[in-house]
Structure 1
Protein backbone atom coordinates (compact mmCIF):
# COMPACT_ATOMS: atom_id res chain seq x y z
CA UNK A 1 0.00 0.00 0.00
CA UNK A 2 1.32 3.45 -0.92
CA UNK A 3 1.90 5.68 2.07
CA UNK A 4 -0.49 8.60 2.42
CA UNK A 5 0.87 12.13 2.08
CA UNK A 6 -0.83 15.52 2.49
CA UNK A 7 -2.71 16.45 -0.70
CA UNK A 8 -2.09 20.13 0.06
CA UNK A 9 -0.70 22.39 2.80
CA UNK A 10 -3.83 23.34 4.78
CA UNK A 11 -5.11 20.63 7.12
CA UNK A 12 -8.16 21.53 9.20
CA UNK A 13 -9.10 20.06 12.58
CA UNK A 14 -12.74 19.07 13.11
CA UNK A 15 -14.21 17.81 16.42
CA UNK A 16 -15.34 14.20 16.05
CA UNK A 17 -18.53 14.90 17.99
CA UNK A 18 -19.64 17.42 15.33
CA UNK A 19 -20.38 15.13 12.35
CA UNK A 20 -22.36 17.85 10.59
CA UNK A 21 -19.02 19.64 10.11
CA UNK A 22 -17.04 16.75 8.63
CA UNK A 23 -17.95 17.29 4.99
CA UNK A 24 -17.74 21.08 5.30
CA UNK A 25 -14.21 20.85 6.74
CA UNK A 26 -13.17 18.47 3.98
CA UNK A 27 -14.52 20.84 1.32
CA UNK A 28 -12.76 23.89 2.73
CA UNK A 29 -9.32 22.41 3.40
CA UNK A 30 -6.86 20.13 1.64
CA UNK A 31 -7.36 17.47 4.30
CA UNK A 32 -9.30 17.15 7.54
CA UNK A 33 -8.31 15.82 10.96
CA UNK A 34 -11.32 14.31 12.71
CA UNK A 35 -10.34 14.78 16.34
CA UNK A 36 -11.27 12.22 18.99
CA UNK A 37 -8.89 13.71 21.54
CA UNK A 38 -8.59 17.31 22.81
CA UNK A 39 -11.52 18.68 20.80
CA UNK A 40 -13.96 16.29 22.50
CA UNK A 41 -14.93 16.26 26.18
CA UNK A 42 -14.21 12.95 27.88
CA UNK A 43 -17.90 12.28 28.51
CA UNK A 44 -18.69 12.81 24.80
CA UNK A 45 -16.09 10.48 23.29
CA UNK A 46 -18.38 7.45 22.95
CA UNK A 47 -20.81 9.63 21.03
CA UNK A 48 -17.90 10.97 18.94
CA UNK A 49 -16.78 7.46 18.02
CA UNK A 50 -20.31 6.59 16.91
CA UNK A 51 -20.34 9.71 14.75
CA UNK A 52 -16.99 8.73 13.25
CA UNK A 53 -18.35 5.33 12.22
CA UNK A 54 -21.74 6.57 11.01
CA UNK A 55 -20.65 9.68 9.09
CA UNK A 56 -18.07 8.61 6.52
CA UNK A 57 -16.18 11.07 4.34
CA UNK A 58 -13.42 10.55 1.76
CA UNK A 59 -10.64 8.50 3.44
CA UNK A 60 -8.09 9.88 0.96
CA UNK A 61 -8.25 13.31 2.60
CA UNK A 62 -9.02 12.25 6.16
CA UNK A 63 -6.84 11.78 9.24
CA UNK A 64 -8.29 10.58 12.54
CA UNK A 65 -6.60 11.86 15.70
CA UNK A 66 -6.83 9.22 18.40
CA UNK A 67 -6.07 9.37 22.10
CA UNK A 68 -2.63 8.58 23.49
CA UNK A 69 -1.38 5.00 23.82
CA UNK A 70 -2.18 3.08 26.98
CA UNK A 71 -5.46 4.86 27.70
CA UNK A 72 -8.90 3.32 27.61
CA UNK A 73 -9.98 5.86 25.02
CA UNK A 74 -7.07 4.82 22.81
CA UNK A 75 -8.25 1.23 22.61
CA UNK A 76 -11.86 2.28 22.07
CA UNK A 77 -10.70 4.63 19.29
CA UNK A 78 -8.88 1.77 17.55
CA UNK A 79 -11.97 -0.44 17.82
CA UNK A 80 -14.10 2.27 16.22
CA UNK A 81 -11.57 2.80 13.44
CA UNK A 82 -11.82 -0.86 12.50
CA UNK A 83 -15.43 -0.17 11.46
CA UNK A 84 -14.39 2.57 8.99
CA UNK A 85 -12.39 2.91 5.78
CA UNK A 86 -9.95 5.37 7.33
CA UNK A 87 -6.32 4.29 7.15
CA UNK A 88 -4.39 7.32 8.45
CA UNK A 89 -4.18 7.98 12.17
CA UNK A 90 -2.67 10.84 14.15
CA UNK A 91 -1.43 9.49 17.47
CA UNK A 92 -1.73 12.08 20.22
CA UNK A 93 1.20 12.51 22.62
CA UNK A 94 3.37 9.91 20.88
CA UNK A 95 6.41 9.05 22.98
CA UNK A 96 8.01 5.95 21.45
CA UNK A 97 8.36 3.96 18.25
CA UNK A 98 6.67 1.04 20.04
CA UNK A 99 3.54 3.13 20.61
CA UNK A 100 3.42 4.02 16.92
CA UNK A 101 3.95 0.42 15.83
CA UNK A 102 1.18 -0.72 18.17
CA UNK A 103 -1.46 1.36 16.40
CA UNK A 104 -1.36 -0.80 13.27
CA UNK A 105 -2.32 1.97 10.82
CA UNK A 106 -0.32 4.53 8.89
CA UNK A 107 0.57 6.95 11.68
CA UNK A 108 1.30 10.64 11.92
CA UNK A 109 2.96 10.88 15.32
CA UNK A 110 2.08 14.02 17.26
CA UNK A 111 5.11 15.26 19.21
CA UNK A 112 3.72 17.30 22.10
CA UNK A 113 5.41 16.06 25.28
CA UNK A 114 9.02 16.40 26.51
CA UNK A 115 9.49 12.63 26.18
CA UNK A 116 8.10 12.64 22.66
CA UNK A 117 10.41 15.51 21.70
CA UNK A 118 13.48 13.71 23.04
CA UNK A 119 12.51 10.58 21.06
CA UNK A 120 11.36 12.27 17.83
CA UNK A 121 14.09 10.63 15.78
CA UNK A 122 13.28 7.07 16.84
CA UNK A 123 9.54 7.74 16.51
CA UNK A 124 10.03 8.94 12.93
CA UNK A 125 11.98 5.74 12.23
CA UNK A 126 9.02 3.47 13.09
CA UNK A 127 8.07 1.50 9.95
CA UNK A 128 4.42 2.63 9.95
CA UNK A 129 5.21 6.27 10.78
CA UNK A 130 4.52 8.37 7.69
CA UNK A 131 4.96 11.81 9.23
CA UNK A 132 5.27 13.93 12.34
CA UNK A 133 3.36 16.90 13.66
CA UNK A 134 4.22 18.84 16.79
CA UNK A 135 2.09 20.71 19.30
CA UNK A 136 3.32 23.80 21.13
CA UNK A 137 0.66 24.24 23.80
CA UNK A 138 0.60 20.67 25.13
CA UNK A 139 4.40 20.68 25.12
CA UNK A 140 4.65 23.79 27.26
CA UNK A 141 1.90 22.59 29.60
CA UNK A 142 3.72 19.27 30.08
CA UNK A 143 6.85 21.22 31.09
CA UNK A 144 4.89 23.21 33.67
CA UNK A 145 5.12 26.37 31.61
CA UNK A 146 2.54 29.07 30.99
CA UNK A 147 2.99 30.23 27.40
CA UNK A 148 4.61 28.92 24.23
CA UNK A 149 5.22 32.46 22.98
CA UNK A 150 6.70 35.67 24.31
CA UNK A 151 3.93 37.87 25.65
CA UNK A 152 3.38 41.48 24.63
CA UNK A 153 4.96 42.62 27.88
CA UNK A 154 8.13 40.65 27.10
CA UNK A 155 8.49 40.84 23.32
CA UNK A 156 5.82 42.28 21.06
CA UNK A 157 6.70 39.93 18.19
CA UNK A 158 4.70 37.01 19.63
CA UNK A 159 7.45 34.61 18.56
CA UNK A 160 7.89 31.13 20.00
CA UNK A 161 10.12 30.68 23.01
CA UNK A 162 13.48 29.06 22.34
CA UNK A 163 12.67 25.59 23.66
CA UNK A 164 9.52 25.48 21.52
CA UNK A 165 11.49 26.52 18.43
CA UNK A 166 13.99 23.80 19.24
CA UNK A 167 11.30 21.11 19.22
CA UNK A 168 9.93 22.48 15.95
CA UNK A 169 13.40 22.10 14.45
CA UNK A 170 13.89 18.63 15.96
CA UNK A 171 10.65 17.42 14.36
CA UNK A 172 11.67 18.73 10.96
CA UNK A 173 15.14 17.19 11.24
CA UNK A 174 13.72 13.81 12.28
CA UNK A 175 11.36 13.84 9.28
CA UNK A 176 14.15 14.77 6.88
CA UNK A 177 16.37 12.03 8.30
CA UNK A 178 13.79 9.30 7.79
CA UNK A 179 11.95 10.55 4.71
CA UNK A 180 8.72 11.47 6.51
CA UNK A 181 6.56 14.55 5.94
CA UNK A 182 6.26 17.23 8.62
CA UNK A 183 3.13 19.17 9.64
CA UNK A 184 3.60 22.45 11.49
CA UNK A 185 1.71 23.27 14.68
CA UNK A 186 -1.54 25.24 14.82
CA UNK A 187 -1.58 29.01 15.28
CA UNK A 188 -4.07 29.46 18.10
CA UNK A 189 -4.63 33.23 17.69
CA UNK A 190 -7.23 33.12 14.92
CA UNK A 191 -7.29 36.91 14.48
CA UNK A 192 -3.51 37.07 14.05
CA UNK A 193 -3.55 36.51 10.29
CA UNK A 194 -0.21 38.24 9.74
CA UNK A 195 1.45 36.06 12.35
CA UNK A 196 0.01 32.89 10.81
CA UNK A 197 1.15 33.90 7.33
CA UNK A 198 4.67 34.67 8.53
CA UNK A 199 4.85 31.40 10.45
CA UNK A 200 3.60 29.39 7.47
CA UNK A 201 6.19 31.07 5.23
CA UNK A 202 8.87 30.07 7.70
CA UNK A 203 7.52 26.51 7.68
CA UNK A 204 7.81 26.44 3.88
CA UNK A 205 11.41 27.61 4.06
CA UNK A 206 12.19 24.83 6.54
CA UNK A 207 10.65 22.19 4.29
CA UNK A 208 7.40 21.57 6.18
CA UNK A 209 4.78 20.04 3.89
CA UNK A 210 1.70 21.39 5.67
CA UNK A 211 0.35 23.49 8.53
CA UNK A 212 -2.55 22.47 10.73
CA UNK A 213 -5.51 24.88 11.04
CA UNK A 214 -8.07 25.25 13.81
CA UNK A 215 -10.49 27.52 11.91
CA UNK A 216 -11.64 27.58 8.26
CA UNK A 217 -10.51 31.21 7.95
CA UNK A 218 -6.91 30.05 8.33
CA UNK A 219 -6.98 27.73 5.32
CA UNK A 220 -6.44 30.28 2.54
CA UNK A 221 -3.81 32.12 4.59
CA UNK A 222 -1.83 28.91 4.85
CA UNK A 223 -2.30 28.11 1.16
CA UNK A 224 -1.14 31.59 0.17
CA UNK A 225 2.04 31.16 2.21
CA UNK A 226 2.84 27.76 0.71
CA UNK A 227 1.91 28.81 -2.85
CA UNK A 228 5.10 29.69 -4.78
CA UNK A 229 5.27 33.13 -6.34
CA UNK A 230 5.41 33.53 -10.10
CA UNK A 231 9.08 34.49 -9.83
CA UNK A 232 9.84 31.35 -7.82
CA UNK A 233 8.08 29.12 -10.34
CA UNK A 234 9.84 30.83 -13.24
CA UNK A 235 13.23 30.36 -11.55
CA UNK A 236 12.49 26.70 -10.76
CA UNK A 237 11.41 25.95 -14.31
CA UNK A 238 14.53 27.56 -15.71
CA UNK A 239 16.71 25.50 -13.36
CA UNK A 240 14.94 22.22 -14.14
CA UNK A 241 14.99 22.87 -17.88
CA UNK A 242 18.71 23.59 -17.77
CA UNK A 243 19.34 20.49 -15.66
CA UNK A 244 18.06 18.29 -18.49
CA UNK A 245 20.96 19.52 -20.63
CA UNK A 246 23.54 19.36 -17.83
CA UNK A 247 23.24 15.93 -16.21
CA UNK A 248 25.43 14.97 -13.29
CA UNK A 249 27.30 18.17 -12.46
CA UNK A 250 27.39 21.83 -11.53
CA UNK A 251 26.11 24.21 -14.18
CA UNK A 252 25.41 27.91 -14.60
CA UNK A 253 22.03 29.59 -15.03
CA UNK A 254 22.30 33.36 -15.31
CA UNK A 255 24.48 34.55 -12.46
CA UNK A 256 23.99 31.42 -10.34
CA UNK A 257 26.01 28.24 -10.16
CA UNK A 258 23.47 25.44 -9.78
CA UNK A 259 24.37 22.33 -7.78
CA UNK A 260 22.40 19.58 -6.09
CA UNK A 261 20.96 21.68 -3.19
CA UNK A 262 19.59 24.36 -5.52
CA UNK A 263 18.23 21.70 -7.85
CA UNK A 264 16.42 20.18 -4.88
CA UNK A 265 14.95 23.58 -4.00
CA UNK A 266 13.66 23.98 -7.55
CA UNK A 267 12.04 20.55 -7.42
CA UNK A 268 10.38 21.41 -4.09
CA UNK A 269 8.96 24.65 -5.53
CA UNK A 270 7.43 22.79 -8.45
CA UNK A 271 5.91 20.14 -6.17
CA UNK A 272 4.21 22.91 -4.16
CA UNK A 273 3.07 24.65 -7.34
CA UNK A 274 1.49 21.45 -8.62
CA UNK A 275 -0.13 20.71 -5.25
CA UNK A 276 -1.64 24.15 -4.65
CA UNK A 277 -1.75 25.78 -8.06
CA UNK A 278 -0.25 29.16 -8.91
Structure 2
Protein backbone atom coordinates (compact mmCIF):
# COMPACT_ATOMS: atom_id res chain seq x y z
CA UNK A 1 0.00 0.00 0.00
CA UNK A 2 1.37 3.41 -1.02
CA UNK A 3 0.11 7.00 -1.10
CA UNK A 4 0.26 7.98 -4.77
CA UNK A 5 -0.46 11.66 -4.07
CA UNK A 6 2.43 13.45 -5.74
CA UNK A 7 5.62 14.78 -4.17
CA UNK A 8 4.59 18.03 -2.44
CA UNK A 9 2.48 17.62 0.72
CA UNK A 10 1.57 20.97 2.30
CA UNK A 11 0.72 21.32 6.00
CA UNK A 12 -2.20 23.60 6.85
CA UNK A 13 -3.35 24.36 10.42
CA UNK A 14 -6.80 22.91 10.98
CA UNK A 15 -7.84 26.02 12.92
CA UNK A 16 -7.46 28.10 9.71
CA UNK A 17 -10.30 26.81 7.50
CA UNK A 18 -10.06 29.85 5.22
CA UNK A 19 -6.72 28.44 4.02
CA UNK A 20 -7.87 24.89 3.25
CA UNK A 21 -8.93 25.31 -0.38
CA UNK A 22 -5.98 27.52 -1.29
CA UNK A 23 -3.51 25.09 0.21
CA UNK A 24 -5.02 22.20 -1.73
CA UNK A 25 -4.95 24.18 -4.98
CA UNK A 26 -1.24 24.93 -4.55
CA UNK A 27 0.01 21.47 -3.50
CA UNK A 28 -0.35 17.84 -4.52
CA UNK A 29 -2.06 17.12 -1.21
CA UNK A 30 -2.90 19.11 1.91
CA UNK A 31 -2.24 17.91 5.47
CA UNK A 32 -4.93 19.34 7.76
CA UNK A 33 -3.02 19.53 11.02
CA UNK A 34 -4.80 18.90 14.32
CA UNK A 35 -1.54 18.50 16.24
CA UNK A 36 1.37 20.92 16.70
CA UNK A 37 -0.04 23.71 14.53
CA UNK A 38 -3.11 24.09 16.78
CA UNK A 39 -3.10 25.44 20.34
CA UNK A 40 -4.84 23.25 22.96
CA UNK A 41 -7.82 25.57 23.40
CA UNK A 42 -8.41 25.64 19.62
CA UNK A 43 -8.35 21.89 18.98
CA UNK A 44 -12.11 21.34 19.42
CA UNK A 45 -12.90 24.04 16.87
CA UNK A 46 -10.21 22.67 14.55
CA UNK A 47 -11.87 19.26 14.58
CA UNK A 48 -15.18 20.87 13.59
CA UNK A 49 -13.38 22.65 10.74
CA UNK A 50 -12.11 19.33 9.44
CA UNK A 51 -15.58 17.81 9.68
CA UNK A 52 -17.04 20.74 7.71
CA UNK A 53 -14.28 20.84 5.07
CA UNK A 54 -15.46 20.38 1.48
CA UNK A 55 -12.28 19.07 -0.16
CA UNK A 56 -11.27 16.27 -2.50
CA UNK A 57 -10.79 13.31 -0.12
CA UNK A 58 -8.20 11.71 -2.41
CA UNK A 59 -5.85 14.67 -1.82
CA UNK A 60 -6.40 15.28 1.90
CA UNK A 61 -4.41 13.94 4.84
CA UNK A 62 -5.49 14.66 8.42
CA UNK A 63 -2.74 14.73 11.02
CA UNK A 64 -4.08 13.59 14.38
CA UNK A 65 -2.49 13.95 17.79
CA UNK A 66 -0.27 11.26 19.28
CA UNK A 67 -2.02 8.07 20.46
CA UNK A 68 -0.83 8.69 24.04
CA UNK A 69 -2.75 11.97 24.27
CA UNK A 70 -6.34 12.58 25.32
CA UNK A 71 -6.91 14.32 21.98
CA UNK A 72 -6.23 11.18 19.91
CA UNK A 73 -9.59 9.48 20.44
CA UNK A 74 -11.42 12.75 19.83
CA UNK A 75 -9.47 13.26 16.60
CA UNK A 76 -10.22 9.73 15.39
CA UNK A 77 -13.93 10.16 16.12
CA UNK A 78 -13.91 13.44 14.19
CA UNK A 79 -12.17 11.93 11.16
CA UNK A 80 -14.73 9.12 11.07
CA UNK A 81 -17.37 11.83 10.47
CA UNK A 82 -15.58 12.99 7.33
CA UNK A 83 -14.90 11.46 3.90
CA UNK A 84 -11.14 11.70 4.59
CA UNK A 85 -9.49 8.33 4.94
CA UNK A 86 -5.78 9.13 4.87
CA UNK A 87 -4.52 9.94 8.36
CA UNK A 88 -1.08 10.93 9.61
CA UNK A 89 -0.50 9.70 13.15
CA UNK A 90 1.81 12.02 15.06
CA UNK A 91 4.58 10.54 17.21
CA UNK A 92 3.85 6.97 16.17
CA UNK A 93 5.59 4.52 18.48
CA UNK A 94 3.36 1.46 18.82
CA UNK A 95 1.61 -0.04 15.78
CA UNK A 96 -1.13 -1.40 18.04
CA UNK A 97 -2.53 2.15 18.14
CA UNK A 98 -3.35 1.78 14.44
CA UNK A 99 -6.03 -0.76 15.32
CA UNK A 100 -8.16 2.24 16.34
CA UNK A 101 -8.79 2.78 12.64
CA UNK A 102 -11.01 0.66 10.43
CA UNK A 103 -9.87 -1.19 7.33
CA UNK A 104 -11.00 1.70 5.12
CA UNK A 105 -8.26 3.96 6.50
CA UNK A 106 -4.68 4.20 5.30
CA UNK A 107 -2.14 5.67 7.68
CA UNK A 108 1.04 7.68 7.47
CA UNK A 109 3.11 6.95 10.56
CA UNK A 110 5.12 9.95 11.69
CA UNK A 111 8.22 8.45 13.28
CA UNK A 112 9.58 11.44 15.15
CA UNK A 113 10.73 10.12 18.50
CA UNK A 114 13.59 7.81 19.39
CA UNK A 115 11.16 4.99 20.11
CA UNK A 116 9.22 5.63 16.92
CA UNK A 117 12.33 5.50 14.75
CA UNK A 118 13.56 2.42 16.63
CA UNK A 119 10.27 0.64 15.86
CA UNK A 120 9.92 1.90 12.29
CA UNK A 121 10.03 -1.62 10.87
CA UNK A 122 7.19 -2.86 13.11
CA UNK A 123 5.18 0.25 12.29
CA UNK A 124 5.72 -0.15 8.54
CA UNK A 125 4.57 -3.77 8.73
CA UNK A 126 1.09 -2.88 10.01
CA UNK A 127 -1.63 -3.54 7.44
CA UNK A 128 -3.05 0.01 7.72
CA UNK A 129 0.30 1.69 7.06
CA UNK A 130 0.62 3.31 3.63
CA UNK A 131 3.50 5.66 4.38
CA UNK A 132 6.18 6.59 6.88
CA UNK A 133 7.45 10.09 7.56
CA UNK A 134 10.21 11.16 9.91
CA UNK A 135 10.62 14.38 11.87
CA UNK A 136 13.91 15.87 13.01
CA UNK A 137 13.01 18.36 15.72
CA UNK A 138 10.79 16.12 17.84
CA UNK A 139 13.33 13.34 17.44
CA UNK A 140 16.17 15.42 18.84
CA UNK A 141 13.90 16.72 21.60
CA UNK A 142 13.05 13.12 22.57
CA UNK A 143 16.77 12.50 22.99
CA UNK A 144 17.27 15.56 25.17
CA UNK A 145 19.07 17.44 22.40
CA UNK A 146 18.60 21.01 21.27
CA UNK A 147 19.18 21.12 17.51
CA UNK A 148 18.88 18.73 14.57
CA UNK A 149 21.22 20.76 12.33
CA UNK A 150 24.64 22.34 12.38
CA UNK A 151 25.02 26.09 11.91
CA UNK A 152 25.58 25.61 8.16
CA UNK A 153 22.23 23.84 7.80
CA UNK A 154 23.51 20.26 7.55
CA UNK A 155 21.66 17.62 9.55
CA UNK A 156 23.49 16.12 12.50
CA UNK A 157 24.35 12.43 12.25
CA UNK A 158 21.49 11.30 14.49
CA UNK A 159 18.95 12.99 12.20
CA UNK A 160 20.56 11.49 9.10
CA UNK A 161 20.49 8.05 10.70
CA UNK A 162 16.81 8.39 11.56
CA UNK A 163 16.00 9.57 8.03
CA UNK A 164 17.74 6.54 6.56
CA UNK A 165 16.12 4.12 8.99
CA UNK A 166 12.61 5.35 8.21
CA UNK A 167 13.31 5.23 4.46
CA UNK A 168 14.61 1.67 4.73
CA UNK A 169 11.63 0.53 6.82
CA UNK A 170 9.20 2.05 4.31
CA UNK A 171 11.01 0.40 1.40
CA UNK A 172 11.13 -2.97 3.11
CA UNK A 173 7.33 -3.10 3.30
CA UNK A 174 6.43 -1.28 0.09
CA UNK A 175 5.26 1.91 1.80
CA UNK A 176 5.77 5.49 0.63
CA UNK A 177 8.54 7.33 2.48
CA UNK A 178 7.89 11.02 3.15
CA UNK A 179 10.82 13.33 3.87
CA UNK A 180 10.69 15.87 6.69
CA UNK A 181 9.83 19.54 6.35
CA UNK A 182 12.51 22.17 5.73
CA UNK A 183 11.81 24.71 8.47
CA UNK A 184 13.85 27.56 6.98
CA UNK A 185 11.18 28.85 4.61
CA UNK A 186 13.48 31.29 2.81
CA UNK A 187 16.24 28.74 2.22
CA UNK A 188 14.92 27.49 -1.11
CA UNK A 189 18.36 26.36 -2.27
CA UNK A 190 18.73 24.18 0.80
CA UNK A 191 15.24 22.77 0.27
CA UNK A 192 16.00 22.06 -3.38
CA UNK A 193 19.15 20.14 -2.46
CA UNK A 194 17.37 18.09 0.23
CA UNK A 195 14.39 17.33 -2.00
CA UNK A 196 16.67 16.27 -4.88
CA UNK A 197 18.52 13.96 -2.49
CA UNK A 198 15.20 12.61 -1.22
CA UNK A 199 14.02 11.79 -4.74
CA UNK A 200 17.34 10.17 -5.66
CA UNK A 201 17.36 8.14 -2.43
CA UNK A 202 13.85 6.71 -2.84
CA UNK A 203 11.50 9.01 -0.95
CA UNK A 204 8.13 9.37 -2.62
CA UNK A 205 7.25 12.80 -1.25
CA UNK A 206 8.46 15.71 0.84
CA UNK A 207 6.28 17.58 3.31
CA UNK A 208 6.37 21.37 3.44
CA UNK A 209 5.04 24.24 5.51
CA UNK A 210 4.74 27.11 3.03
CA UNK A 211 3.20 27.33 -0.47
CA UNK A 212 6.38 28.73 -2.02
CA UNK A 213 8.14 25.48 -1.15
CA UNK A 214 5.79 23.44 -3.35
CA UNK A 215 7.30 24.34 -6.73
CA UNK A 216 10.81 23.69 -5.42
CA UNK A 217 9.84 20.20 -4.29
CA UNK A 218 8.05 19.39 -7.53
CA UNK A 219 11.04 20.50 -9.59
CA UNK A 220 13.39 18.39 -7.47
CA UNK A 221 11.32 15.24 -7.95
CA UNK A 222 10.75 15.82 -11.67
CA UNK A 223 13.61 14.33 -13.76
CA UNK A 224 15.15 16.63 -16.35
CA UNK A 225 14.87 15.80 -20.05
CA UNK A 226 18.39 14.38 -20.26
CA UNK A 227 17.66 11.92 -17.46
CA UNK A 228 14.34 10.94 -19.01
CA UNK A 229 16.03 10.38 -22.38
CA UNK A 230 18.65 8.16 -20.74
CA UNK A 231 15.96 6.11 -19.00
CA UNK A 232 13.97 5.63 -22.22
CA UNK A 233 17.08 4.67 -24.17
CA UNK A 234 18.26 2.15 -21.57
CA UNK A 235 14.87 0.46 -21.34
CA UNK A 236 14.56 0.38 -25.12
CA UNK A 237 18.00 -1.21 -25.43
CA UNK A 238 17.10 -3.81 -22.81
CA UNK A 239 14.28 -5.17 -24.98
CA UNK A 240 16.80 -6.82 -27.28
CA UNK A 241 19.16 -8.06 -24.57
CA UNK A 242 19.31 -10.98 -22.17
CA UNK A 243 20.80 -10.40 -18.72
CA UNK A 244 23.68 -7.96 -18.33
CA UNK A 245 24.58 -5.83 -21.34
CA UNK A 246 26.62 -2.79 -22.30
CA UNK A 247 25.02 0.54 -23.25
CA UNK A 248 26.92 3.76 -23.97
CA UNK A 249 29.98 2.35 -22.22
CA UNK A 250 28.15 1.40 -19.05
CA UNK A 251 27.21 -2.02 -17.73
CA UNK A 252 23.44 -2.35 -17.46
CA UNK A 253 21.81 -4.92 -15.21
CA UNK A 254 18.46 -5.24 -13.45
CA UNK A 255 19.15 -2.68 -10.67
CA UNK A 256 20.00 -0.05 -13.30
CA UNK A 257 16.84 -0.93 -15.22
CA UNK A 258 14.84 -0.44 -12.03
CA UNK A 259 16.46 2.98 -11.63
CA UNK A 260 15.36 3.82 -15.16
CA UNK A 261 11.79 2.70 -14.47
CA UNK A 262 11.73 4.83 -11.34
CA UNK A 263 12.88 7.85 -13.35
CA UNK A 264 10.04 7.38 -15.85
CA UNK A 265 7.48 6.93 -13.08
CA UNK A 266 8.49 10.34 -11.66
CA UNK A 267 8.57 11.92 -15.10
The interval holding the TM-score normalised by the smaller chain is over 0.9
Judge conservation of contact 1:6–1:210 (CA < 8 Å) in 2: no
Q: Where does residue 10 of structure 2 map in the other structure?
A: 12
CA distance in 1, matches of 2:251, 2:49: 56
CA distance in 1, matches of 2:239, 2:63: 43
Summarize the alignment of residues 199-210 of structure 1 with structure 2, pairs less than 5 Å apart: 199-210=194-205
CA distance in 1, matches of 2:33, 2:240: 49
Verify: 1:82 aligned to 2:80, yes or no: yes
Q: Where does residue 52 of structure 1 map in the other structure?
A: 50
Verify: 1:224 aligned to 2:219, yes or no: yes
Q: Where does residue 141 of structure 1 map in the other structure?
A: 141
**Alpha-carbon shift at residue 115 of structure 1 (Å):** 0.5
Q: Where does residue 188 of structure 1 map in the other structure?
A: 183
Q: Where does residue 276 of structure 1 map in the other structure?
A: none
Judge conservation of contact 2:2–2:174 (CA < 8 Å) in 1: no
Judge conservation of contact 1:8–1:210 (CA < 8 Å) in 2: yes
Judge conservation of contact 2:244–2:252 (CA < 8 Å) in 1: yes
Verify: 1:250 aligned to 2:244, yes or no: yes
Partner of 1:78: helix, strand, or coil? helix
CA distance in 1, matches of 2:54, 2:140: 34
**Of 160, 163, 167, which residue of structure 2 is paired with 1:165?**
160
Partner of 1:89: helix, strand, or coil? strand
Partner of 1:252: helix, strand, or coil? strand
CA distance in 2, matches of 1:243, 1:130: 32
Q: Where does residue 260 of structure 2 map in the other structure?
A: 266
CA distance in 2, matches of 1:115, 1:56: 36
Over residues 42-100 of structure 1, what are the superposed CA-to-partner deviations in whole Å (9 max), with x where a residue is unaligned? 10010001010112200111110001113221101111111110110000000022122
Judge conservation of contact 1:56–1:84 (CA < 8 Å) in 2: no
Structure 2 stretches lacking a partner, 5+ long:
none
Judge conservation of contact 2:62–2:84 (CA < 8 Å) in 1: yes
Judge conservation of contact 1:94–1:100 (CA < 8 Å) in 2: no
Judge conservation of contact 1:6–1:31 (CA < 8 Å) in 2: no
Partner of 2:258: helix, strand, or coil? helix
**Alpha-carbon shift at residue 22 of structure 1 (Å):** 0.8
Judge conservation of contact 1:4–1:88 (CA < 8 Å) in 2: no
RMSD: 1.1
TM-score (norm 1): 0.93
CA distance in 2, matches of 1:262, 1:31: 30
**Of 26, 36, 45, which residue of structure 1 is paired with 2:34?**
36
**Alpha-carbon shift at residue 160 of structure 1 (Å):** 0.3
Q: Where does residue 238 of structure 1 map in the other structure?
A: 233
Structure 1 stretches lacking a partner, 5+ long:
274-278
